[in-house]
Amino acid sequence: MPEAPPDSSPTLRVETVDVTYGRALSALRSVSLTVPPATVVALLGANGAGKTTLLRAVSGTLRLHRGAITAGTIRYGDTVLDGGDPVAAVRAGVVQVPEGRRVFAGLSVDENLRSGGLGLSRRTRTAQIQESRDRVFTLFPRLAERTHQAAGLLSGGEQQMLAIGRALMAAPRLLLLDEPSLGLAPQMVQRIAEVIREINAQGTAVLLVEQNAGMALSLADHAHVLEVGETRLEGPAGELARTDAVRRLYLGESAEDQGAA
Amino acid sequence: MTAFLDNILGGLALGSVYALVALGFVVIFKASGVLNFAHGSLLLFGGYLTAVLHDDLGFAGALALAVLATAALAGVLDRFLLQRGGQDAHSAHVQTIVTIGVDIVLLTDLSRRIGGDLLSLGDPWGDSVTELGPLTVADSRLAAIVVSALVIGAVFALFRFTAWGLSLRAAAEDLEAAALMGVRLSRVRAGAWCLAGALAALAAVFLAAFPAPGLERTTGQIALNAFPAAILGGLASPAGALAGSMIIGLTEALVVGYQSDLHVLGEGFGDVAPYAVMLLVLLVRPTGLFGAKGTARV
């Protein structure tokens, strides 16, 4: 597969995508979403709304869950990503950090990081891994101290750092983050939010799926709210944070709070 | 004392050969979650090719071709038959059953070809022996130990230092996370099958060499003893397969060597010993010697 000439600023365009699991269960219906270069887009919604499904559609891993895109297109710049090939996504510069961290517990921290570069072509791998490792260690100095430790022995926060670091090894231009704050202490959530801001400031676009809507909206430029497989709301994150529905459903404020504010 | 050392050496030689088989079995399980019941037939296939080709190609050429052909057969089997079923745990169970079918087909055909013959593989050791102090050791046994050690060392280096090895270990830990990193699961899997096929073909040579009379249609069944070795080691652990193979090999050699003193257990206890040891170990360590070693903190 000839590699496409590096387009410095591709945009992710998800257009009217339908996803079905097991040929019967409809998980997404006509969902569209755009992630322009170097922006943060948040994807909100309750459990089962289809947030993770959308990320799987982009990263090409639906097939592992017996799901398929049945309509619509996903493009990243000129690269078509709706063919269900995870390698194509990684090589195009789109890398997903799975929900629940999913680090390789029995492998060392260093091996986990190296595994992040496995999707790169052999030609670019060695040089890229060296460069990316330096970047990851600058972002997460704590990982540098534990390169030989088994990843399963890290704390939850450290595992999340490793999961993000592992994804950064492929030098993505678009990072798909699935619930990075899940199960972490408030202080660690703060730290992860800073990291996302920093990664974005370095020019990487982020598509962020979060239950923690407060955190997500504070980071995002643009946000989408999914409800049972369809887009319910979308707009600039700041505006969305002020709408009643979002405040009530995702920011945990009651009607009286809004009156007081 | 000499008899004891002789038995130990015999056990190590046998264990080395089992290790080649068990390692392949474990690598397949690790990469695909499939228990390959066709492993014995693959071994017999490799041995049979070496046997029919060595007159024309010489031993080395025949063995090289047999190893390549068995690797290719295993790889094709996985890529174009088993992988069509999918990559998840449920399909792995179905694929395990499919390997039983493959075993029956392959074994039937090879049995038909071999019939009641004892085939020589044309190995260079013949029945020559080497004097090691008080011991007289068959060269074929020394070769088994040395060759297995080298090959297994190389396989462990593959796991540790190559991108394929890292891909395999990552995919064994978490298939989806590995896919998200851009690991080509189908290639990694097929590669594991190829490796296992190659190891089985190599093991056939030593199973058929002196003091065994030659390759028989039942030689593949001897490889069955490598299964308890793999289970005993923890099934997904290459190091465990190695340790398990040595334990089984030594047990079998010692039980056969001291059979006259063990007659309370009846004739032929050597055939049962590997499974008896497996059961004993599993009673103490239900996940095998090296199983469930990874400590995960959530």
Q: Residue A101 corresponds to which amino acid?
A: R
Instruction: Look at residue B236 and tell me whether its pLDDT is greater than 80.
Output: yes
Give the dihedral of Cα atoms A132, A184, A177, A25; nearest 10 deg. Answer: 140
> Do B6 and B139 contact (CB within 8 A), yes or no?
no
> Do A174 and A204 contact (CB within 8 A), yes or no?
yes
Query: Phi-psi region for residue A73, left (φ > 0), alpha (ψ -120 to 50) or beta?
Result: beta
What's the mean pLDDT in A47-76? Answer: 93
**Which residues of B sit within 8 Å Cβ distance of A?**
86-88, 163, 166-167, 169-170, 173-184, 293-298
Helix (H, G, I), strand (E, B) or coil at A222: strand
Nearest CA among B171, B184, B241 for reference residue B24: B241
Q: Does A55 touch chain B (CB under 8 A)?
A: no
What's the mean pLDDT in B109-124? Answer: 92
Nearest CA among B290, B293, B295 for reference residue B26: B290
Nearest CA among B257, B250, B225, B247 for reference residue B39: B225
Phi, psi of B101 (to 5 degrees): -60, -45
Which of A118, A150, A155 has its CB closest to that of B166? A118
Instruction: Look at residue A255 and tell me whether its pLDDT is greater than 60.
Output: no
B103 or A4, higher pLDDT: B103
Q: Residue B37 corresponds to which amino acid?
A: F
A240 or A89, higher pLDDT: A89
The percent of residues in chain B predicted with pLDDT above 90, rounded, is: 66
User: How far is the alpha carbon of A216 from chain B, nearest alpha carbon, in Å?
Assistant: 23
Query: What pLDDT is attached to residue A259?
Result: 43
Residues 6+ apart with CB under 8 A from A51: A43, A44, A45, A178, A209, A226
> Do B83 and B76 contact (CB within 8 A), yes or no?
no
For chain B, what are the domain ranges?
Answer: 11-219
Tokens of A208: 């962020």
Contact B294 A96 (CB under 8 A): no
Taking only Cα atoms into account, the Rg of chain A, rounded to an integer number of angstroms, comes to 18
Confidence grade of residue B297 (pLDDT, cut at 50, 70, 90): very low
Instruction: Look at residue A8 and tell me whether its pLDDT is greater than 70.
Output: no
> Do B229 and B244 contact (CB within 8 A), yes or no?
yes
The percent of residues in chain A predicted with pLDDT above 70, rounded, is: 93
What's the mean pLDDT in B136-164? Answer: 95
| ipTM of predicted assembly, 2 dp | 0.89
Domains defined for chain A, CATH in brackets = 34-62+78-260 (3.40.50.300)
Confidence grade of residue A252 (pLDDT, cut at 50, 70, 90): low
Q: pLDDT of A123-145, one tens digit each?
A: 888 888 999 999 999 999 999 99
Tokens of B207: 């199973």
Which of B163, B169, B182 has its CB closest to that of A86? B182
Q: pLDDT of B30-54, one tens digit each?
A: 999 999 999 999 999 999 999 999 9
Q: pLDDT of A154-180, one tens digit each?
A: 999 999 999 999 999 999 999 999 999
Contact B173 A91 (CB under 8 A): no
Strand partners, A95: A175
Contact B182 A152 (CB under 8 A): no
Instruction: Look at residue A256 and tell me whether its pLDDT is greater than 70.
Output: no
What's the mean pLDDT in A170-199? Answer: 94
Mean pLDDT, chain B, rounded, equals: 90
Q: What's the sign of the alpha-carbon dihedral B26, B30, B35, B40?
A: negative
Q: First and final CA of chain A: distance in angstroms?
A: 56
Contact A111 B166 (CB under 8 A): yes
Confidence grade of residue B222 (pLDDT, cut at 50, 70, 90): confident
A184 or B265, higher pLDDT: A184
Helix (H) or strand (E) run with residue B187 in it: helix B185-208
Contact B179 A104 (CB under 8 A): no
Contact A111 B169 (CB under 8 A): yes
Inter-axis angle of helices B226-233 and B2-32, nearest 10? 70
Interface test with A, best of B162, B166, B181, B298 (most A CBs within 10 A): B181
Query: What pLDDT is attached to residue B178?
Result: 96
Instruction: Look at residue A24 and tell me whether its pLDDT is greater than 90.
Output: no
Query: What pLDDT is attached to residue A254?
Result: 54
Query: What pLDDT is attached to residue B179?
Result: 94
Helix (H, G, I), strand (E, B) or coil at A87: helix
Query: What pLDDT is attached to residue B257?
Result: 86
